[in-house]
Amino acid sequence: MRKGGAGGARTARPLLPGMEPPLRDPERHAAELSPLLCAWFAATRRDLPWRVNYTPYEVWISEIMLQQTQMDRAVDYFRRWMEQLPDVAALAAASEETVLRLWEGLGYYSRARNLMAAARRVMEEHGGAFPEREEQIRALPGIGPYTAAAVASIAFGQPVACVDANVERVLARLFDVQTPVRREPAASFIRQWAQRLVPEDAAREHNQAMMELGALVCRKVPRCPACPWGAYCRARQRGVAGERPVKDDGPGMTALTTVAGILTARGRILVHRRPARGVWAGLWEFPGGAVPEGEEPGATLLRHLREGCGLGAQLLEGGGHIVHTRTRYRITLHWRRLRLPDDAAPSPPPLPDDAWRWVTAEELADLPLPAPHRKVAGLALAQ
């Protein structure tokens, strides 16, 4: 990878085959960029459910979901969400359990709770009408600069730039940015050019087109021949598109070993609700927890049951494990079946508090569970 001093001359590589005519400088010809991009978007845009009405509520929900998951999965989540919570009033009135169940599998459950809190504030402080100004949108719980800009521009047509990872990648290649895009001075350069390129009268189309270009064409492995900005792209002309954006090596993965128990009694399954703060806050899960180094998962599980709810149990044959990746963590979750010493009891034994619950399989299906525990439920209850 080439290195160059700030402001110094750059030595371009020879043009790759088929790259003629020579580069049209993106800074000198900036006014040409958005019309080309919007024309490309009009011809190639994907049909997505939040691109029908462009209500602020639908734009907001879709943008929060797309922070979590790939487009195809987000479509399914969005449709299920809108069937049950079609507007901000419905979300504001919904129970936390309903919202978390609809969000299940997307992770970062604090964002689902922030959606509820923001909806209630819209009802209380704005009479149920989603605020239009970017600073008012930003003041709602859980809404950061990107989401506020997305709602302001896509729902209300305001000429503000939306800068996500797709846009960072597009502009890093267009201008051949040679330092990590989320560090200075590259971060400011990207933001400034993202804003300069937004047309006053077509912010909705432009911002969606920028993100669409990054998602469909200017991908991690770029599809340069299909790009409407190919004649302007410095990284393409210099043969380094695949090296942009410059990688910013972050922390590596941390391995975690955990265990969960499937304890049934009289047709009911024992579950435990996680604390109100922390990872997967407030979700239900099978009893268990982190396995200390040197301890066998089964022993950890029996100890957690004794300490958590005072139940003695016996391990049964069978079980297994799954691997789940969450941000910087690689979680190996072992699961084991258990039984109570006295299976002849007429009803499940009492539990110490309402953080523990005996549920049927049907009730379990309606509870919000962390993704790895939902996987375990599918494996264990199918056998």
Burial class, 199, CB count within 10 angstroms (exposed 0-12 / middle 13-18 / buried 19+): middle
* Residue 296 DSSP label: -
CB atoms within 10 A of CB 256: 14
The enclosing H or E element of 32 equals none
Q: Identify whether 295 is a catalytic site residue.
A: no
27, 32, 58, 63: the catalytic one is 63
> Would you say 335 and 262 are in contact if contact means Cβ atoms under 8 Å apart?
yes
Dihedral Cα 209, 210, 215, 219, nearest 10 deg: 140
Q: What are phi and psi of 290, to 5 degrees?
A: -70, 140
Helix 56-66 with 71-84: angle, nearest 10 deg: 140
What's the chain's Rg over C-alpha atoms? 26
First to last CA, the chain: 53
Determine contact, residues 134/207, Cβ cutoff 8 Å. Answer: no
Q: Which residues are catalytic?
A: 63
